Homo-oligomer: A and B are copies of this chain.
């Protein structure tokens, strides 16, 4: 029996002035997107980076949560004045911004009663009815409210938490991908590549990305599909193209 092709999608909402100013280079988009693809069969359809502004967060959370199956937010769930993600999401969904009992206990335990100050307590404040995404590296949990999952901005902490999101997610069909690295330039194969894409239009997505490696110019041809069989077929056509054009393949 043929397996049903189930598409599940997500958006990523990066919240943080430091990314918009260019001070910090984002590391979370690629990490989350890769993990969603390979572990959950979920495709990221859109990413937005927005400032630490309540109004802007509310607008984007509402827009994206309506449009996509899941929204992953990163940043703004720490203890300082510029951490306003939890409060903004509460307002967006019109629920109370309140202490989450379990999060409070986790943090109180982690810091110890005497050192559990107001800033630290703030990290237990969440949209009412949130479920927790546990944090094995620095205790302060992320949370999921409706279809919005809020994670911290620090990549090492986010990375340590990502597996704990899994239980909340409906999985989609895994997308398989294959990369062929060719020592040629895009404009040498663009016509033929276009024809191959046309042939497999509904089943395989073909991307073409220039690279510089070993002092030579090349093109990575990335094919992506939910069907392993179709992926094999399209790659046969690509290999034929390289033979016809006498293009060297870079083996890694």
Residues of A participating in the B interface, judged by any CB pair closer than 8 Å: 14, 16-27, 29-37, 43-52, 78-82, 111, 117-120, 122-123, 153-154, 156, 175, 177, 179, 186-191, 193-194, 197-198, 205-210, 212, 222, 224
Contact = CB atoms under 8 A, between A and B. Distances in A.
B191 A117 contact: yes
B81 A193 contact: yes
Given A24-B30, A27-B25, A79-B186, A18 B119 contact: no
B78 A205 contact: no
B22 A32 contact: yes
B37 A191 contact: no
B21 A177 contact: yes
Given A17-B207, A29-B19, A48 B51 contact: no
A47 B20 contact: yes
Given A51-B45, A190-B79, A212-B156, A22 B17 contact: no
Contact of A46 (B32, B49, B117): B49
A31 B193 CA distance: 31
Nearest to A36: B22
Given A78-B186, A119-B191, 6 more contacts: A20-B44, A22-B29, A22-B44, A52-B207, A81-B208, A120-B187
11 contacts: A18-B207, A21-B33, A46-B48, A47-B48, A48-B48, A78-B186, A78-B190, A79-B186, A80-B186, A81-B193, A156-B212
B37 A22 contact: yes
A60 to B, nearest CB: 9
Nearest to A179: B23
A30 B34 contact: no
A78 B185 CA distance: 11
